Amino acid sequence: MSKPSEATAQPVPFTSNGAQQVSEGGFTGVSINFTNSDNQNGYVVNVFFAWYNAVSQIVRIDEESGVVFAPGQTIGFVDAWNVPGAYTVHAFLEDLSGNALSTAYEAQVTVAQPVEPFVCTGTQVPLDSGFPGLQTTFTSNEQNNVTVDVYFVWYNQLGQVASIDANLGVFFTPGQSLSVFSDFSMPGRYYVMAFVRDPRGGRTFRALFGTSLSHVDPDAPTKIARPFPRKR
C-alpha cells in the first residue's frame, strides 16, 4: 500500500486542535477538525487518514477528495473502521498537487471486537424427560427494545433440513434473557442450530448455537447387540 506524503516542515495554512478516538454507528475511528487559518484565500484539499498497525505498517488509507475550505472556515471529519486491533492514525491535508497543507495529527485508536446483538447458551433436554429437545437462553445486547423471530433448524445426518421451528414476535428489553424450547418428534440424530432474525429488515444475527442431539423412539423395542460367531 503506497504511503501519502503527509506533511513537511514548511509553513502550512491549516491547523487543528488534534485528532481523537470516537465511536460512531458501531465503528471506531478518528475525529478531527481542520481550520483554514488563511483569512484571505480558500483552498480545495484532499483529506487523508493513514492507519498504521503495531509494527508501523500502513494497513488502511482513506481519502476524501476535493473538499472546499473558505477563508477561515473549520470543517470536521470522521474516519472509522470495524477491523479489531490497535492502530496509530495520522490525519492530514494536501492540495490537489500533493503539497502538504497541514501537519500530520496523530491519534491512538483501539478497535474492539464487535458486540453481538444476541448471545445464546443451549442445554440438551435429556431423553428420559419425555420431551427431548433443545432448551436455549437468548440474551439481548441491544440498546433498545427489540422484537425478533427465533428459529431452530434441525439437520439430519445427511445435512438436510428435517424441521424448522419458528417462534415469531419474541419481545426483548435491553439485557433481557429468555429461554426458548424446541423439540422434534422424529427419532434420529440431529444437529440443531438456533439463531435470531430481525423481521423488520430481514437482518439475521449470526448463527448462535449448534448441538448434536440424539433422539430415539421411546416405543421402539430394545435391541441387544450380539457379537458375530467366530468362524471355525
Last residue of a domain, one of 111, 145, 171: 111
Both 126 and 203 in a single domain? yes
Which positions ≥6 away from 95 have C-beta within 8 Å? 43, 44, 45, 46, 101
DSSP 195-228: EEEETTTTEEPPP-EEEEEEE--TTSPPP---PP
How far CA 63 is from CA of 20, 39, 60, 92, in Å, comes to 18, 25, 10, 10
Residue 39 lies in a domain: yes
pLDDT value for 104: 95
Q: List the Cα angle 55/58/61 in 5-degree steps.
A: 155
Both 136 and 167 in a single domain? yes
- Residue pLDDT, tens place only, 155-201: 887 888 888 989 899 999 988 998 888 887 777 777 788 888 877 66
Residue 9 lies in a domain: no
- Residue pLDDT, tens place only, 104-163: 999 999 998 766 777 777 666 665 556 667 788 888 887 788 888 888 888 887 888 888
Q: For residue 125, give its domain range.
A: 118-215
Both 88 and 107 in a single domain? yes
The domain total for the chain is 2
Which grid cell is 93?
491535508
Both 129 and 103 in a single domain? no
Both 48 and 65 in a single domain? yes
CATH number where 25 lies:
2.60.40.10
- Residue pLDDT, tens place only, 32-59: 999 999 999 999 999 999 999 999 999 9
Last residue of a domain, one of 111, 136, 166: 111
